[in-house]
Amino acid sequence: MKNKFLVIISLLLIPALVLGCSGASGQNTSSAVEDQSAAYSHSDDTAPDYAVVLPDDQVNQINITISPENWEALQDDMIDRYGQPGSSDRFGGGNGGGQPGARPEGGNVPQMDGANTTQSTTQGISLVDTTSAEATPTAGPTDDSGTNQPPQGGGNFNPQDDANRPQRNDDNMGNRGGMGGGMMDGNDDENPIWVDATITFNGETWEHVGFRLKGNSSLRSSWTSGNNKLPFKLDFDQFEDDYPTTENQRFYGFKQLSFSSNFSDSSYLRETVAADMFRAAGVPSAQTAFYAVYVDSGDGPVYYGLYTAVEVVDDTLIQTQFDDDSGNVYKPSGSAATFTAGSYNEEGYDKETNKKVDDYSDVEALLETLNSDLRLSDPSVWRAQLEAVFDVDDFLQWLAANTVMQNWDTYGSMSHNYYLYHDPTSDQLVWIPWDNNQSMSSRGGGRADNAAQGPQNAQGADNPMGSGSTSIGNEDVGDNWPLISYLLADEVYQQRYVEAVQNFLTQAFDPDALESELTRLHEMIAPYVEAEQDGYTTLSNKDAFDTSVDSLVEHIRSRYQAAQEYLEENN
In the chain, which residues have pLDDT < 50?
1-25, 90-186, 445-467
How many residues in total does the chain contain? 571
According to the model, what pLDDT value does residue 270 have? 98
Instruction: Please give the Cα distance from 202 to 415 (Å, whole number).
Output: 39
User: What's residue 38's pLDDT?
Assistant: 82
Secondary element (H or E) of residue 374: helix 374-377
pLDDT at position 542? 86
Which amino acid makes up residue 267?
A: S
pLDDT of the residue at 28: 61
Going by C-beta distance under 8 Å and a sequence separation of 6 or more, which residues neighbour residue 223?
78, 82, 85, 100, 230
Cα–Cα distance for residue pair 329/366, rounded to 1 Å? 14
DSSP for 73-123, please give it: HHHHHHHHHH-STT--SSS-S----S-TTPPPSSS-PPPBTT--EEE-TTT
For residue 99, how many other CB atoms are within 10 A of its CB? 18
Beta bridge partners of 228: none
Per-residue pLDDT tens over the stretch 196-229: 999 999 999 999 999 999 988 889 889 989 999 9
Amino acid 464: pLDDT: 34
Burial 220-236 (b: 16+ CB within 10 A, else e): bbbbbbbbbbbbbbbbb
Which 3 state secondary structure label does DSSP give 464? coil
Domain range annotation of the chain: 53-100+184-321, 323-509+541-570
Q: With contact defined as beta carbons under 8 Å apart, do 513 and 235 qualify?
A: no
pLDDT of residue 515: 98
pLDDT of 158: 27
Cα dihedral 318/323/329/335 (nearest 10): -100
- Model pLDDT, residue 27: 53
Answer whether 406's CB lies under 8 Å from 441's CB: yes
Q: Hey, what amino acid is at 291?
A: Y
CA distances for 136 relative to 131, 132, 225, 508, angstroms? 11, 9, 29, 31
Q: Assess contact for 74 and 213: CB atoms under 8 A.
A: yes
